[in-house]
Amino acid sequence: MKPRLASLLRAFVFALPLLMLAPLPSTLQPIPAALAGEAAPLAEDEAVEKRLIAISEELRCLVCQNESLAGSQAELANDLRREVRTLIKAGKSDAEIKEFLVSRYGDFVLYRPPVKSTTLLLWAGPGLLLLIGLFALFRYLRRRNAAIATTPLSADEARRAEALLNSGTAERKQP
């Protein structure tokens, strides 16, 4: 049963390129006009569209909050992209466009929120955690170094260690 299945599979894999070749002649036929119309260019103006994408990648879609405005298919994202497009065509700067959205939806739309008193912890937090970690590491290492340095062997311990080392070498010599 199993070998037969394997040979069937192999035959299928070998036949695959042939299967892919088969419909080729039909794809060479001219595409009907109605179908071609469906893939209409997304934008009349490529420069505007490039700027739109650059700006909207920095902005959060409010409906699907883990998506950028550039990538979201939400209805509102569509509307906001249309707004941004209008503003670009009206000659507004990137900062002005962002301000337009921030004044309506708040700093939340910016993936890079501005540094102010409410966002200070957000910006400084990782650095602060790093400092705390470095401090803890430094303290731990210093304490350990101190512990190693301050425990020399007593005379008795030194003698016993010596004896053990000697006996070890003696044993190894024996056989």
Partner 1 sequence: MNRFAWPLVGFVVLVVLLGVGLTLNPRDVPSPLVGKPAPAFTLKQLGDAGKTFSPEEMRGKVWLLNVWASWCVTCRQEHPVLVDFARTQSVPLVGLNYKELRGDAAVDMSRVDAATEESEARERATRWLAQRGDPYALTALDLDGRVGIDYGVYGVPETYVIDKAGIIRMKHTGPITPDVLSGKILPLVAELSK
Give the interface with partner 1 as residue ranges (CB under 8 A).
Answer: 62-63, 65, 75-76, 79-80, 83, 102-108
Look at residues 67, 58, 53, 38 and name the one whose alpha carbon lies nearest to residue 107: 58
Is the CB of 133 or the CB of 168 nearer to partner 1?
133
Task: Choose between 70 and 102: whose C-beta lies nearer to partner 1.
Answer: 102
Angstrom distance (rounded) from CA 128 to CA 116: 17
Q: CB of 59 within 8 A of CB of 98?
A: yes
Q: Least CB distance from residue 30 to partner 1, whole Å?
A: 25
Determine contact, residues 76/63, Cβ cutoff 8 Å.
yes
Q: Which long-range contacts (CB under 8 A, 24 or more apart) does 30-35 make?
A: none
Q: In sequence order, what are the beta bridge partners of 60?
A: 68
Report, in Å, the least distance between residue 136 CB and partner 1.
8
Residue 164 CA, chain-centre distance (Å), reads 57
Nearest distance in Å: CB 149, partner 1 = 21
Shortest reach from residue 106's CB to partner 1, in Å: 4
Identity of the residue, 118 or 167, whose beta carbon is nearer to partner 1 in the bound complex: 118
Per-residue DSSP letters for 18-81? Answer: HHHHTTHHHHTSPPPHHHHHHT--S-S-HHHHHHHHHHHTTBB-SSSTTSBTTT---HHHHHHH
Pick the closer one to partner 1 by CB: 99 or 157: 99
Nearer to partner 1, 57 or 107 (CB): 107
Please report how close the Cβ of residue 83 comes to partner 1 at its closest, in angstroms: 6
